[in-house]
């Protein structure tokens, strides 16, 4: 049985050095990055970024690699796939440019190559080529403070929960990604509420594709009722125009 992989980022341990940012750039051949990496944002050339918040708290932003990814469920051409290890990958050759993935992502991650004549979506792949060969992600390997850990997802969950239990005064009592939108393969620990670090709040614990499926199950009824309504409106509009035309012709005859 293949064990699911994941990343655990601990904001209490991050020193804001940016080594993860530069390692990601090198791994994906996306240039060397900005000299002041803290001013960079997620883009088609930056798959992960480091952000600084109050009290010198640093956090990372990257694809969360959802357990049940919405981007996979909404893509009409199958450009997104969920791999056996856990990472969510994207095939630009299949993409039709609809950008449904960008609208559907609960974490606002996918970025579009607006500057390109043949644009595609870009995002973190969790170094899939590395991990399928038994290596860790480039960002985890580069982190000097071990703020970013890579390993088996279930073991990372245990580590995260144990850190909170051992030091409740240091950590906000929740592991982000454990439940959000059905869970993710990237887990976050923080000393403050996650909304203060720019993470999406109020996400349901249920996978979003499940919510979508239930909504779609109701569509036949909605469509049948809606079609009757729209059909009636069309008939009324058409009849109104006919009456107006008949009245105009009568006025012309009487003129």
Q: Which of these ranges, 58-62, 100-104, 114-118, 238-242, has the smallest mean pLDDT?
A: 238-242
Rounded to two decimals, what is the model's pTM? Answer: 0.82
Find all residues with CB under 8 Å of 72, minimum gap 6, and list them.
Answer: 80, 81, 82, 88, 209
Question: Is the Cβ–Cβ distance between 191 and 13 less than 8 Å?
Answer: no
Place of tokens 């249920």: 206
Residues facing residue 121 across a β-bridge: 112
Distance in angstroms (rounded) separating the CA atoms of residues 222 and 10: 46
Give CA 202 to chain center in angstroms: 15
Quote the percentage of the chain above a pLDDT of 70. Answer: 82
Give CA 250 to chain center in angstroms: 62
Rounded to the nearest integer, the mean pLDDT of the chain is 87
pLDDT score for 252: 54
**Residue pLDDT, tens place only, 48-87:** 999 999 989 999 999 999 999 999 999 999 999 999 999 9
pLDDT score for 2: 81
Distance in angstroms (rounded) separating the CA atoms of residues 20 and 46: 11
Residue 135 CA: distances (Å) to CA of 130, 140, 176: 5, 10, 25
> For residue 183, which of 210, 207, 158 has the smallest C-alpha distance?
207
**Residue pLDDT, tens place only, 158-204:** 999 999 999 999 999 999 999 999 999 999 999 999 999 999 998 99
């Amino acid at each position: 049985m293949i064990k699911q992989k994941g990343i655990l980022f601990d904001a209490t341990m991050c020193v804001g050095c940016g080594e993860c940012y530069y390692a990601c750039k090198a791994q994906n051949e996306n240039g060397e990055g900005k000299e002041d990496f803290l001013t960079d944002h997620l883009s088609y050339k930056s798959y992960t970024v480091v952000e600084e918040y109050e009290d010198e708290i640093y956090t990372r932003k990257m694809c969360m690699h959802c357990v049940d990814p919405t981007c996979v469920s909404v893509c009409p051409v199958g450009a997104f796939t969920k791999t056996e290890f856990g990472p969510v990958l994207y095939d630009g050759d299949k993409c039709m440019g609809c950008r449904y993935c960008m609208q559907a992502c609960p974490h606002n991650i996918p970025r579009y190559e607006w500057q390109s004549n043949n644009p595609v979506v870009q995002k973190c792949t969790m170094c899939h080529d590395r991990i399928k060969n038994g290596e860790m992600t480039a960002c985890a390997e580069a982190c000097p403070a071990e703020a970013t850990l890579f390993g088996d997802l279930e073991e990372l969950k245990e580590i995260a929960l144990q850190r909170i239990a051992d030091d409740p005064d240091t950590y906000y009592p929740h592991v982000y990604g454990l439940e959000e939108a059905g869970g993710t393969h990237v887990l976050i620990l923080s000393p403050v509420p996650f909304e203060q670090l720019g993470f999406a709040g109020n996400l349901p614990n249920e996978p979003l594709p499940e919510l979508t499926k239930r909504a779609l199950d109701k569509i036949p009824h909605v469509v049948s009722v809606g079609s009757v309504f729209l059909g009636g409106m069309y008939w009324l509009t058409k009849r109104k125009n006919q009456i107006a035309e008949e009245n105009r012709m009568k006025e012309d005859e009487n003129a």
